Amino acid sequence: MTKAPAYLETKNHYEILDGLRGVAAILVVIFHVFEAYSGNRFKQIINHGYLAVDFFFVLSGFVVAYAYDDRWGKMTQWDFYKRRLIRLQPMVIMGSIIGAIFFYTQGGQLFPLIDQTPVWKMLLVMLVGFTMLPLPISMDIRGWQEMHPLNGPAWSLFFEYIANILYALIFRHFSKKVLAVFVVIFALVLIQFLVMGPQGDVIGGWSINGTQLYIGITRLMYPFFAGILLCRVGKLIHIKNAFTVCSLMLIVVFFIPRIGDEHTLWMNGIYESVAIILVFPLIVAIGAGGHITGKFAQKACKFLGDISYPIYITHYALIYTYTAWVIDDKIPFAKGMWYGAVLVIASVAIAWACLKWYDEPVREWLKKRFLMKKVASN
């Protein structure tokens, strides 16, 4: 018996969507740098930068449908899960390791639990982080009640996995009309939470309690399955300079200041409803319908796409350290932003190093080990 190549070859990528994922990921890092100076959700610079998560969910749904909708006759559910785990899990592990490396550099007033946390407990949290299993609040070792205290953004990967399981078990079987009904229902739930809910935004989803889990599920369901529906409908938009247009649209959406105040939460809720329900699918439709011309643009989109997931899942250890320094030492904006710029550059460098020296080799090994099929030799 010999092993043949993986029986599901990788499809061509939407280059612009890859590039947009990278643009959004870098904006997330910048948003988190600025967040150290904001004080509260009403005064953040790049105020709606957290909506990048919701944009990622739309992108993910679209890409999952494109990659797998027409392949279910050639693979089992377990084949699908293996492919998704191989794609996502290696960098989840690396993110947890990097979080552990930086953990004890962050102790102080902002994170009072760190100096009280023994090494064995931190290592236990790291190992649990490898599995993506969420930690209860009672296992918090930082003080922010995160389900992944060493790597906060991993919460969105937890919900990403839930979405993939729901897709494989249930939603892949739905016709476009049935899926559209569910997408409308999910949109109405999102609007109700944003416009009539207690906070007027989608901030949250990273803790294991009723409120935070509801926010996470609400953030997940519409954008992910709207992305799947968008792919199935196939109504893409073809315009010139699609990558530039879409990048500017993302920047505008993220940079718009908070609308209203604590007495008019519904105003910002309406804005975020429009952004998530209408603008993000529009950006994906334009990005998927556009074309990249020129070698430089192609290389730029490939680079941005390649580092997008690594930078998202590894940068927050640096953000924890930076935020603790800014707040504990009362660092002024004018001084701290120089270090913030270095942090952004370092995040890109770490992401690229992890991609080339760890993620790609590990995924290649895993593909050969688990995605090859044995065939009889002649």
Evaluate if residue 224 carries a pLDDT over 90.
Answer: yes
Tokens linked to 54: 């919701």
Tally the residues of the chain.
Answer: 378
- 310 Cα distance to chain centroid: 10
Evaluate if residue 1 carries a pLDDT over 60.
Answer: no
- What pLDDT sits at residue 40? 83
Task: Evaluate whether 92 touches 129 at the Cβ level (below 8 Å).
Answer: yes
Tokens linked to 129: 């982080």
Lowest-pLDDT choice from 10-14, 47-51, 297-301: 10-14
- What pLDDT sits at residue 301? 96
- What pLDDT sits at residue 280? 98
- What pLDDT sits at residue 373? 66
Evaluate if residue 83 carries a pLDDT over 70.
Answer: yes
Q: How far apart are CA 120 and CA 358, in angstroms?
A: 25
Q: How far apart are CA 225 and CA 151, in angstroms?
A: 26
Evaluate if residue 8 carries a pLDDT over 90.
Answer: no
Taking residues 113-136, what's their average pLDDT?
97
Name which of 72, 65, 19 is nearest 230 in CA terms.
Answer: 65
Evaluate if residue 4 carries a pLDDT over 80.
Answer: no
Q: How far apart are CA 319 and CA 80, in angstroms?
A: 33
Taking residues 258-271, what's their average pLDDT?
96
**How does residue 38 score in pLDDT terms, banded at 50, 70 and 90?**
confident
Dump pLDDT digits (tens) for 102-118.
999 999 999 999 999 99
Dump pLDDT digits (tens) for 165-213.
999 999 999 999 999 999 999 999 999 999 999 999 999 999 999 999 9
How large a percentage of the chain has pLDDT more than 90?
90
- What pLDDT sits at residue 374? 57
Residue reference for tokens 């969910």: 57
Tokens linked to 266: 């519904």
Dump pLDDT digits (tens) for 65-75.
999 999 999 99
Residue bearing the bigger pLDDT, 10 or 328: 328
- What pLDDT sits at residue 352? 98
DSSP assignment of 276-289 equals IIIIHHHHHHHHHH
Q: Which residues pair with 4 in a beta bridge?
A: 373
Q: How far apart are CA 66 and CA 222, in angstroms?
A: 18
- What pLDDT sits at residue 39? 74
Evaluate if residue 9 carries a pLDDT over 80.
Answer: no
Strand intervals (E) in the chain: 2-4, 373-375
Taking residues 357-368, what's their average pLDDT?
97
Average pLDDT value over all residues in the chain: 94
Give the type of residue at 322: Y
